[in-house]
Amino acid sequence: MLSRAQIPASQPPPLTETKSILPMEFNKWVRHYVHYDTLTKSFQQQTTNARKMKDAYEEKIIEALDQTKMKNAIIQIAGGTVKLVEDKHPAPLTFIHLESMLHDYFKAKGARFPDETDSIIRYIKENRKQVTNSQLKRESVVPPPPPPPLTDTI
């Protein structure tokens, strides 16, 4: 077991062996959870915005390289290079795609083999493993809008 001195400052202290939770300690845990939840959401938003900007600049650079017919250019930057590369990866395996491939498979097999696509897809959906995790979900309460001002128009 790690002593308190060996636990990095970025991690919360471990639970004590006793079963009772002190209210002040519990309140502190909740405050820290909310703080880090807010911080995480802020970082996610910043990351999303940074990705959008990076993608926009990437699109402009690729378009410029296409127009100037310099697809093989190697651009020198501080600390390295930037070059255009082709990234190939398989498409996501969705049930729609899987169903289409199975129909094609049975069609290629010929009339001797009946198309069992529907029963195969149903079997896969019914027998998928499910993993259940417990986690906290933070919900924000939005205050109701203020009532409209009273007017003296009669």
Of 45, 48, 84, nearest in space to 63 by CA: 84
pLDDT, tens digit, for every residue of 21-76? Answer: 788 889 999 999 999 999 999 999 999 999 999 999 999 999 999 999 999 999 99
DSSP state of 52: H
Of 86, 88, 44, nearest in space to 65 by CA: 86
Give domain limits for the chain: 22-84, 91-127
Helices (H), 68-153: 95-109, 117-126
pLDDT beyond 90 at 100: yes
Residues near 2 by beta carbon (within 8 Å), at least 6 away in sequence: 14
Rounded CA separation 53/9 (Å): 34
pTM over 0.75: no
Q: What is the pLDDT confidence band of residue 3, given thresholds at 50, 70 and 90?
A: very low
Rounded CA separation 19/24 (Å): 15
